Amino acid sequence: MTKTKKVSLTGLRFWCGLAAFLVVALLLLFRYLLRRWPLWSDVVSWLVGGGSFVLLVEYFLGLIRRERDRLKELSLEKREREVNFEQVFNLSPVVLMIVNSGGQITRVNRRVQDWLGYQPEELEGLDVAEIPFLSEKGKMKARILDQRVKGKRVEARELNFLTKGGAVKIGDLRVVPLPQVNDRRDDLLIISDVTASEEVDRAKTEFVAITSHQLLTPLTTIRWYAESLLKQEQHQDEERLREYLIQIYKTNQRMIGLVNTMLRVSRVEKEEIRFNLIEVSVQELIDSVLDELSILIQNKDIELVQKIEPVKGLRVDPEYFRIIVSNLLTNAVKYTPSRGRILIEVSPVEKKVIRGDTGVQEFTLTVEDNGCGIPPEQQKNVFTKLFRADNAREVDPEGTGLGLYIVKAIINSVGGQISFESEYNRGSRFTVRMPVDWTTSKFS
């Protein structure tokens, strides 16, 4: 609020004006009494009189102007507050609805348009019981009235909301009474979108269900084999006894593998990994992975071609690097039929020096096979958790669908990328591009 002009100045002008007016009045009085005034006194008196009159008028005008300015300021402030309210109301990340004491919706914010597809204008004026996107409309009105009467808080979690297009979103609803103004008491309905967190919850629950089921199967198998071994009649022959024990052992190993994979997923997601960085030779690492797979590769008579260039200064966490290489190679071997061909390529990336900025030295690792490939419509899901392509499932029913998910997470965490090309029944080619030195990654 700007300060008004100093009162003293105004007062002075007023008093001058008043004084001049009085002088003129006196002079005129004298004139009247003496009936003998020179002409110049007339002029002076009229000038002074006129001047003082003007001053008085100006003073009163000033008062009026000041009052008008004050009112203008007040009105501007009110406008500013209104605009702020509009902004806050409409920019709110939650849906806000104001309902009057009669149960009628008086205001709805813009968020309802983003979230549910309805224009605020479509909803304003409706009775709360007529809300098109709420399935429990009648109850809503009853709740609000009830809350008013008893002063109870109205809160509903995870309600279903229908968008204008017919989709379902999930939100939490709260009714907050607004302060009473005159004899009006409105309520504010706050609806917040929890669809995303609901989906995350659901995904987690599903994950637990699927992995529990995955564990239950081998556990049942082991149990049955053990039961049968414990019954006298069954292990009449040594051969069968040995076979059953081997089966128990193998199944057990499978479960340990599954649990380890799940723990890895958990650690990757919670970002609990800490890398132990050492300098390694890429050829040695790949050799050791190939060692593990050698029997399988031999049995399937797969042709293995290696084009591995040395990568200078390779400084990584061998355990996690191994996970990447092992996953890609195991997949290639698993999904390639007998007499197939697998190509492994490693090469440093040509460094482009831009204006003296050497950037990060990177290298690429490529694994290519001529196996069953990935069906085109399923390719976008390849790196998602628990995903298994239908043809992959046929080839290897035991896969977890977690391998590539973990691989991608590790690669991303070191600032690398993974991509692939694949043709159904022709083969796949996975390419990983990573920094040579993982020191700057977020897990180091």
Partner 1 sequence: MVEERKKVLIVEDEAPVRRIISDMIAPLGCEIIEAKDGESGLQKGLDNHPDVIILDIVMPGKGGLEMAEELRKDEWGRQVPVVILTNLKTARQSVEELGGEIIFIPKADWEIEDVVKVVKEILEVKDYLGEDQLGSGILAQKVRERLGFE
| C-beta of 54 vs 219, nearer to partner 1 | 219
When the beta carbons of 202 and 393 are compared against partner 1, the nearer one is 393
Q: Does 381 bind partner 1 (CB under 8 A)?
A: no
Q: How far is the CB of 375 from partner 1 (least distance, A)?
A: 13
- Choosing from 221, 361, 378, 431, the residue that interacts with partner 1 (CB under 8 A) is 221
Instruction: List the one residue from 10, 92, 100, 247 that touches partner 1 (CB under 8 A).
Output: 247
Footprint of partner 1 on 389-408 (CB under 8 A): 390, 393-394, 397
By C-beta, is 253 or 276 nearer to partner 1?
A: 253
* Contacts with 17 (C-beta within 8 Å, 6 or more apart), sequence order: 51, 52, 53, 54, 55, 56, 59
CA 389 to chain centre: 28
Contact call for residue 335 and partner 1 (CB under 8 A) = no
Radius of gyration of the chain (CA): 42
In the complex, what is the shortest distance from the CB of residue 296 to partner 1, in angstroms, rounded to a whole number? 16
Measured from the CB atom, is 46 or 224 closer to partner 1?
Answer: 224
Minimum distance, C-beta of residue 237 to partner 1, in the bound complex (Å) = 11
DSSP 401: S
Sole window of 168-176, 232-240, 354-362, 404-412 interacting with partner 1 (rule: CB under 8 A): 232-240
- If one asks whether residue 225 binds partner 1 (CB under 8 A), the answer comes out as yes
Q: Are strands 315-316 and 168-177 parallel, antiparallel or unpaired?
A: unpaired
Distance of closest approach, residue 261 Cβ to partner 1, in angstroms: 19
Written as six digits, the tokens of 405 are 């998910």
Among candidates 349, 307, 311, 343, which has minimal Cα distance to 328? 343
Greatest Cα-to-Cα distance within the chain, rounded to the nearest angstrom: 158
Q: Quick one: 163 or 299, whose CB is closer to partner 1? A: 299
Contact call for residue 240 and partner 1 (CB under 8 A): yes
Q: Hey, which bits of 376-426 come out as E strands?
A: 417-423
Question: Which of 35, 231 has the CB closer to partner 1?
Answer: 231
Q: Establish if 104 lies at the interface with partner 1 (CB under 8 A).
A: no
Of the pair 192, 217, the CB lying nearest partner 1 is at 217
363 exposure class (CB count in 10 Å sphere: 0-12, 13-18, 19+):
buried
Q: Is 249 in the site for partner 1 (CB under 8 A)?
A: no
Q: Which residue in 192, 217, 361, 379 binds partner 1 (CB under 8 A)?
A: 217
Binding status of residue 213 toward partner 1 by CB under 8 A: yes
Which distant-in-sequence residues (6+ apart) come within 8 Å of 285 by Cβ? 318, 321, 322, 325
Task: Name the residue nearer to partner 1 (CB basis): 183 or 390.
Answer: 390
Residue 367: strand pairing partners: 344, 430
CB of 299 to partner 1, least distance (A): 16
Query: Applying CB under 8 A, does 347 fall inside the site for partner 1?
Result: no
The DSSP code for 442 is T
Q: At closest approach, how far in Å is the CB of 135 from partner 1?
A: 26
* CA angle, 48 then 51 then 52, to 5°: 85
DSSP-assigned states of every residue in 212-250: HHHHHHHHHHHHHHHHHHHSGGGGGSHHHHHHHHHHHHH
- Cβ-contact 414, 434 below 8 angstroms: yes
Give the binding site for partner 1 (CB under 8 A). Answer: 213, 216-217, 219-221, 223-225, 227-228, 231, 233-234, 240, 244, 247, 250-251, 390, 393-394, 397
